[in-house]
Structure 1
C-alpha cells in the first residue's frame, strides 16, 4: 500500500496529465470506474474484476493525494474515518447492547445513525429523500450514443434527434392506451434514450443535467418539509395543492 501511495505521489510530480487534474476533473472517472466494476462483476471474469477494482482504488488514491497536497487530509485519514464509521454503524456487531437484531431492525438502526451523523455535522434538517442514494445516472446511454456517432450512426443535427424523440413519445402514449405493461416499459426506455440523444446533440452532459435537477428537487422538497415541520405537519398529511404552493415558494426563494 505504501508503495502505491508513493507511486501516486511520483505521478503527480512528474506526469503532466496527472499534475493538471483537480478533484472536480477526476470525479467523472470515479463514476465511470464504478460502472466498470459493476460490469465486470456481472461478467463473472475474475481477472477483469480484479483489474477494475484496482482502477476504482486508483480513484481513491488519486483524490486522497490531491487533498493531501492541500493539507486537508491524506489516505490514512480516509482509512481511519471509514474504519470508525463501520464500527459506529454496526452497534449490533460491536456493542453487546444491540445483539440479536433482525435485518429490518439493523436497517432501521443504520438509517437512524446516519441521520444522527448528519445532524452532528451541522445539517439541521434531514430530508426523507436523503435515503435515496446519490449518483444514479444515464452515463452509459450517452456513452453508447457517442460511440455509435463515431461509426457514423448518428443524426446530422439535433432536429433529427428531436423528431425521433417525438416519435418515441407517441409510441409510449399508444402503449399506455393499450394498457400493456411490457410495451410501456419498452417504449419508456426508448423515449428516455431518445431524449438523452437530444441532449447529446446539444452537447450537454445529460448525466450532470439530471443530477443537477435531482439536487434541485431535493432542495425544494427539503424546503417543503421544513415549512411543514414549523406547523407540526408532515408532507403525507397534506394534499397536493398545499404541497404545490410550498413548492412554488421554494422556487421563488431560489430567485432571491
Structure 2
C-alpha cells in the first residue's frame, strides 16, 4: 500500500498560516517566552546559519533536506519582518513587494520594452543597476555596499572583483601566483626571526595577506574561494576519519599513534580515493 500524497495548500494560505504562527510566537502575552525576548541581533546568527544549511543541502543533492532548510530560511525572513512590523517599520508584505519591484527594475528585458539579453549582458546590466541604486543611497566609491559581515574569503573576492571593474587587477592567474610567492616569502622572513622577537601582529598581517591573495587566485580562476575551502575541509575530514578508523581497528587512537604512522595512513587514504575515482 503506497502512502497518499497530501496536496500542499495554496501559496497564499500557506504563507498566511506561517505569518500567523510567527505572530502567535511573538505575542507578548501568550507567546513563547524565548521568542518574545529575541531581537534582530540575537536572531541574525540563526539567519546566517540557515542560509549555509540551505547551501549544504544543495551540495549534498538532498531534496527532502532542501525543502526543510528552505522552510527554516523563510522562517528567518518572516521572523525579522515580524519584529520590524512590531516597531512600525515595515511588514512582510512590504519585504515581498520591495524585492518584486527590484527584480522587475533589474530585468527590463523581461518586464519592459528592452530587447533580450545574453547572460553576459544581463550580468553587466545587473551590476550597472546596482551601482545606480548605491548612488541613490549616497553610497559612494567603487567598494561601497559590500557588507563587512560576509565571510572573509567571500568578501576578499568581492572587493577585488569590484576593483577589477575599474582596472585595478592582476592581468591573469599567473601574476597572482607570483604575488602569492612574494607574500609567502614575506611570511618566511617573519618566521626566521627568533621566537623572542616575533611580532604576533606582523604574523597576523602576513597570513592575512597570503589568504587575501589566495582568494584573488580563486577569483581569477572563476572559482568561489569559500567553495574551494569547504571542499578542502571535507577532504581533510574524510581522510582523517580514515586514519581514526584504521587506528581503532588496530586498538589505537591518534593520541597513541606516531605522526609517521598517521602520515602513512593519510597517504593511503589519498591513494584509495584516487583508485575509487
Superposition TM-score, scaled by structure 1 size: 0.51
Offset of residue 122 of structure 1 = 3.3
User: Per-residue deviation at 1:118?
Assistant: 1.9
Tell me whether 1:115 sits opposite 2:131 in the alignment: yes
Q: CA deviation at 1:133?
A: 6.3
Aligned counterpart for 2:119 among listed residues 103, 111, 129: 103
> CA offset at residue 173 of structure 1?
4.3
Answer with 1 or 2: which has the greater Rg. Answer: 2
Over the residues paired in the alignment, what is the CA RMSD in angstroms?
2.8
Offset of residue 35 of structure 1 = 0.6
Distance 1:122 1:7 in 2: 38
Structure 1: runs of 5 or more not aligned = 139-168, 175-187, 193-256
Partner of 2:201: none
Task: Identify which of 14, 22, 29 aligns with 2:31.
Answer: 14
The Cα shift of 1:101 comes to 2.2
**1:181-200 to 2 correspondences below 5 Å:** none
Q: Name 2:150's counterpart in structure 1.
A: 136
Question: Which runs of 5 or more residues in structure 2 are unaligned?
Answer: 1-14, 153-183, 190-206, 212-277
Separation in structure 2 between the aligned mates of residue 31 and residue 82 of structure 1, nearest angstrom: 19
Aligned residue runs from structure 1 range 123-162, under 5 A: 123=139, 126-130=140-144, 135-137=149-151
- The match for 1:48 among 47, 61, 65 is 65
How far apart, in 2, do the equivalents of 1:121 and 1:109 lie?
19
The whole-number CA distance in structure 2 between the counterparts of 1:50 and 1:135 is 26
Residue 68 of structure 2 aligns to a residue in which SS? Answer: helix
SS state at 2:89 partner: coil
1:204 aligned residue: none
Instruction: Determine which of 87, 102, 116 is the counterpart of 1:85.
Output: 102
Using the alignment, how far apart are the partners of 1:34 and 1:116 within structure 2?
27
Match of 1:2 in 2: 16
Contact 2:23 2:82 in 1 (8 A): yes
**TM-score normalised to structure 2 length:** 0.47
**SS, match of residue 143 in structure 2:** helix
Report the secondary structure of 2:150's partner residue: coil
Shift of 1:136: 3.2
Bigger relative contact order, structure 1 or 2 (CA pairs below 8 A, ≥6 apart): 1
TM-superposition CA deviations, 1:90-134 (whole Å, max 9, x none):
0121122x21323222111111111211222333xx332247566
CA distance in 1, matches of 2:76, 2:148: 18
CA distance in 2, matches of 1:64, 1:2: 13
Q: Distance in 1 between matches of 2:86 and 2:51?
A: 25
- Measure, in 2, the Cα distance between the counterparts of 1:113 and 1:74: 26
Distance of 1:113 and 1:49 partners within structure 2: 31
1:37 aligns to what?
A: 54
Q: Which is richer in helix?
A: 1
Q: 1:40 to 1:173 in 2, by over 3 A?
A: farther
Question: Helix, strand or coil: the match of 1:14?
Answer: coil
Give the drift of 1:85. Answer: 0.3
